[in-house]
């Protein structure tokens, strides 16, 4: 049986502590059947007023637990009091009223309690001091079958506390009929217990830990396993993947959303091909007559004619009917023959100039890791030649841009537990202290260090940026207290308050130790030897602020950071970056985000079009009507990336150095536009109307995928 219960938390009156200049920062937690809802906190007051409604799902046998906490910035929150409410007894005592008002008396603990279960009972004084008023509403479910419908309100104040509960004896009546709900059994190995304060907690006998939150069963398709070393891991039989972290319905949903975003990103980044519709070629008379036996005449995607000799599987630009076979002998090892735009052959020693990296889109992370770590670090400075099997793309820079963009989105994904977001509303990345759950995490950090250094060395952009302190670490610059503000403003403001106020007069009891939680396990870290027994005073608080700030900026990631910089310095020594600051490094690595249309137009050149051509006017009208996201996708289609260099469009780079955005008149009106990402060039056919141009461009940037021959 289930129903929605709306609890309106109104106010409280808390006992004042004359030793503390500032009042508590209380908030109320309502827990029932594994759910937990809480109000906003009221800062520095003994008479908080919330008037905040919380909705939970209950059954007739549910017991609500109300806890009043005081928020602490540098320590665990303090429990001020608690009380319980039995749903069925309360409804019986109030004649099954749907709306009723109750006042609770809370027992005040004589000592502070932590926010984690403990085997030691919490002692209480016999004095009843705090008073809270709540208004409860039991709503009908969607079907409305059998739910109580009375709307009048009744009030009752108990004469005294009964073990911290707000119960009063009234004649019993029949319990209300409400809709059925099955909370489900606990997962194997879990047990539900109640401590001496009436608080429900859960014990995991397999991993030997406790938690306040009711454990969820594994999502559909998941299985829990233990490896030969006794480590617990989880198998997803649907995607045939494994993970160290216990999956929840929410994490699976977040991963599915990330996969959806990833597929959209790949769709946007793979629109650099040169597909277009060819008209039917007319049969023409060749005055030279038929080709010799074994020869075939072909045309490449740029309209250039070449000839194939099938017996030797060789190709050449020259017509065999006039010049014969150019050279049927193989070239020495490491040499290759190339041709100029005019078709003149030349020879070049290719081995020391570039390295080839062949990766599959489906296994991008694994393929890139294996190949990058197999190269000598100095070889990674050579020109990159990225190959996606099955795609006829010649990498003159455009394919490499896509590889850096897609791989950075993959390796920096927080789902791999190597990196995490810097804060709740700060999506910059920092190293995850829990990365050790992956036994090979240090190898991956060394690989990521090499990869980020390659991005800087080859002037390629990545998808996601890091936190400001992390950029300062890359530059080998000292961190300061001010750097905390960019990743944890609340923690930073707390330290500033300690710095500006007399902590001894405020009665704050702090020591040179901090608590940290990793994967649900809370441990204590001493900021200095025997710090847990050294109290912070006015004389030593400057040292405390410095140590706690250093800990917050580097907590538990020293090994990971060392592995990252080992790989980074192998490719790009840090002294090469000594003239940059953190903001400049961020722009060099991530590029500019907002697209300036005026800058785009000012730095665009035209071939076989004029600035006043109607197709050019239509093109800029089309771009002007786009939002910034579609402009980025169009820029990706033409240049291979949505990121811009520091100088904007004026500093766009091509395969041969600086190369401005170019629009060239190519093809017929029934062709689709095509792009040359290595040269930042858009081939725009001479369309007859604006609507036709808009339709063809939208189709090109949204439907094409992969690379065509340059």
For the annotated catalytic residues, the residue numbers are 678
- Helix then strand then coil, in percent of the chain rounded to 5, is 30, 25, 45
What is the spatial distance between Cα 480 and Cα 489, in angstroms, rounded to a whole number? Answer: 14
Residue 380 CA, chain-centre distance (Å), reads 28
Helix (H, G, I), strand (E, B) or coil at 67: strand
Tell me the HSE value of 346 on the side-chain side, using a 13 A CA sphere: 9
Q: Which residues contact 411 (CB under 8 A, 6 or more apart)?
A: 365, 368, 418, 444, 447, 448, 451
Strands 657-658 and 653-654: antiparallel
Tokens 């039995």 correspond to what residue? 86
Q: 21-30 b/e with 16+ CB inside 10 Å = b?
A: eebbbbbbbb
Beta-carbon count within 10 A of 40 CB: 11
Token pair for 532: 């847990």
Q: Which residues contact 507 (CB under 8 A, 6 or more apart)?
A: 17, 19, 20, 21
Q: Which residues contact 375 (CB under 8 A, 6 or more apart)?
A: 355
Q: What DSSP assignment string belongs to 390-432?
A: T-----SSHHHHHHHHHHHHHHT-GGGSSEEEEETTEEEEEE-
Which uninterrupted H or E stretch holds 66?
A: strand 63-70
Phi-psi region of 467 (alpha: psi -120 to 50; beta: other; left: phi over 0): beta
What is the spatial distance between Cα 335 and Cα 87, in angstroms, rounded to a whole number? Answer: 84
Spatial CA neighbour of 134 closest among 160, 151, 156: 156
Q: Residues 490, 494, 499, 501: what is their CA dihedral angle, to the nearest 10 degrees?
A: 130
Which uninterrupted H or E stretch holds 609?
A: none
Residue 663, burial from CB neighbour count under 10 angstroms (0-12, 13-18, 19+): buried
What is the spatial distance between Cα 50 and Cα 65, in angstroms, rounded to a whole number? Answer: 18
Q: Which residues contact 148 (CB under 8 A, 6 or more apart)?
A: 91, 96, 97, 98, 138, 176
CB–CB of 515/523 below 8 Å?
yes
Spatial CA neighbour of 384 closest among 300, 451, 474, 463: 451
Spatial CA neighbour of 606 closest among 531, 554, 665: 665
What is the spatial distance between Cα 382 and Cα 384, in angstroms, rounded to a whole number? Answer: 6
What is the spatial distance between Cα 44 and Cα 473, in angstroms, rounded to a whole number? Answer: 37
What is the spatial distance between Cα 385 and Cα 394, in angstroms, rounded to a whole number? Answer: 8
What is the spatial distance between Cα 91 and Cα 61, in angstroms, rounded to a whole number? Answer: 11
What is the spatial distance between Cα 472 and Cα 492, in angstroms, rounded to a whole number? Answer: 18
Beta-carbon count within 10 A of 448 CB: 24
Token pair for 353: 């100039």
H helices present in 572-689, as ranges: 582-590, 597-602, 614-625, 628-639
């Amino acid at each position: 049986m289930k129903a929605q219960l709306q609890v309106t938390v109104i106010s409280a009156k808390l006992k004042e502590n004359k030793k503390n200049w500032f009042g508590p920062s209380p908030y109320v937690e309502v827990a029932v059947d594994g759910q937990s809802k809480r109000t906003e906190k009221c800062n520095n007051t003994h008479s908080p007023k919330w008037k905040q409604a919380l909705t939970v799902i209950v059954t007739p046998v549910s017991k609500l637990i109300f806890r009043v906490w005081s928020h602490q910035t540098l320590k665990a929150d303090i429990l001020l009091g608690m009380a319980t409410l039995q749903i069925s007894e309360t409804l019986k005592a109030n004649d099954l009223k749907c709306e009723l008002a109750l006042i609770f008396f809370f027992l005040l603990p004589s000592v502070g309690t932590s926010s984690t279960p403990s085997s030691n009972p919490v002692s209480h004084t016999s004095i009843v001091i705090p008073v809270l008023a709540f208004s409860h509403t039991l709503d009908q479910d969607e079907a409305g079958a059998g739910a109580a419908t009375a709307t009048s309100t009744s009030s009752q104040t108990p004469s005294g506390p009964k073990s911290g509960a707000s119960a009063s004896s009234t004649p019993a009546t029949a319990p209300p009929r409400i809709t059925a709900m099955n909370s489900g059994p606990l997962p194997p190995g879990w047990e539900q217990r109640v401590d001496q304060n009436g608080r429900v907690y859960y014990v995991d006998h397999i991993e030997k830990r406790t938690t306040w939150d009711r454990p969820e069963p594994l999502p559909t398709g998941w299985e829990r396993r233990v490896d030969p070393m006794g480590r617990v891991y989880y198998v997803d039989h649907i995607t045939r993947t494994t993970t160290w972290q216990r999956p929840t319905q929410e994490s699976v949903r977040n991963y599915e959303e990330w996969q959806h975003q990833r597929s959209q990103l790949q769709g946007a980044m793979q629109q650099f091909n040169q597909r277009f519709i060819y008209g039917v070629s007319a049969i023409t008379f060749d005055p030279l007559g038929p080709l010799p036996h074994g020869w075939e005449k072909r045309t490449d995607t740029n309209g250039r004619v070449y000839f194939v000799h099938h017996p030797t599987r060789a190709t050449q630009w020259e017509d065999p009917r006039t010049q014969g076979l150019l050279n049927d002998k193989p070239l020495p090892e490491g040499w290759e023959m190339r041709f100029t735009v005019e078709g003149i052959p030349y020879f070049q020693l290719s081995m020391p100039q570039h390295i080839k990296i062949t990766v599959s889109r489906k296994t991008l992370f694994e393929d890139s890791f294996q190949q990058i770590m197999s190269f000598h670090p100095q070889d990674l400075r050579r020109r990159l030649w990225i190959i996606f099997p099955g795609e006829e793309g010649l990498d003159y820079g455009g394919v490499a841009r896509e590889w850096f963009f897609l791989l950075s989105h993959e390796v920096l994904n927080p789902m791999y537990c190597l990196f995490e977001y810097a804060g709740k509303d700060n999506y910059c990345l920092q190293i995850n202290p829990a990365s050790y759950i992956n036994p090979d995490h240090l190898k991956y950090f060394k690989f990521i260090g090499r990869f980020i250094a390659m991005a800087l060395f080859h002037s390629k952009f990545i998808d996601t940026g890091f936190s400001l302190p992390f950029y300062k670490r890359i530059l080998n610059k000292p961190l300061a207290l001010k750097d905390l503000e960019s990743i944890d403003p609340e923690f930073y403001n707390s330290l500033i308050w300690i710095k500006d106020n007399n902590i001894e007069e405020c009665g704050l009891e702090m020591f040179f130790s901090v608590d940290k939680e990793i994967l649900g396990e809370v441990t204590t870290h001493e900021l200095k030897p025997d710090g847990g027994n050294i109290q912070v005073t006015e004389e030593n608080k400057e040292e405390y602020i410095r140590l706690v700030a250093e800990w917050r900026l580097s907590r538990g990631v020293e090994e990971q950071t060392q592995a990252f910089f080992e790989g980074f310095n192998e490719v790009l020594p840090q002294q090469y970056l000594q003239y940059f600051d953190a903001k400049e490094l961020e722009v060099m690595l991530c590029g500019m985000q907002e697209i300036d249309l005026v800058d785009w137009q000012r730095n665009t050149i035209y071939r076989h079009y004029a600035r006043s051509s109607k197709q050019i006017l239509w093109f800029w009208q089309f771009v002007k009507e786009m939002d910034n996201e579609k402009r980025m996708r169009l820029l990706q289609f033409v240049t291979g990336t949505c990121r811009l260099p520091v100088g904007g469009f004026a500093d766009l780079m091509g395969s041969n150095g600086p190369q401005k955005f170019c629009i060239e008149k190519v093809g017929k009106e029934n062709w689709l536009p095509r792009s040359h990402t290595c040269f930042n060039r858009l081939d725009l056919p001479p369309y007859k109307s604006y609507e036709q141009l808009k339709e063809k461009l939208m189709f090109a940037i949204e439907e094409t995928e992969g690379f065509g021959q340059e």
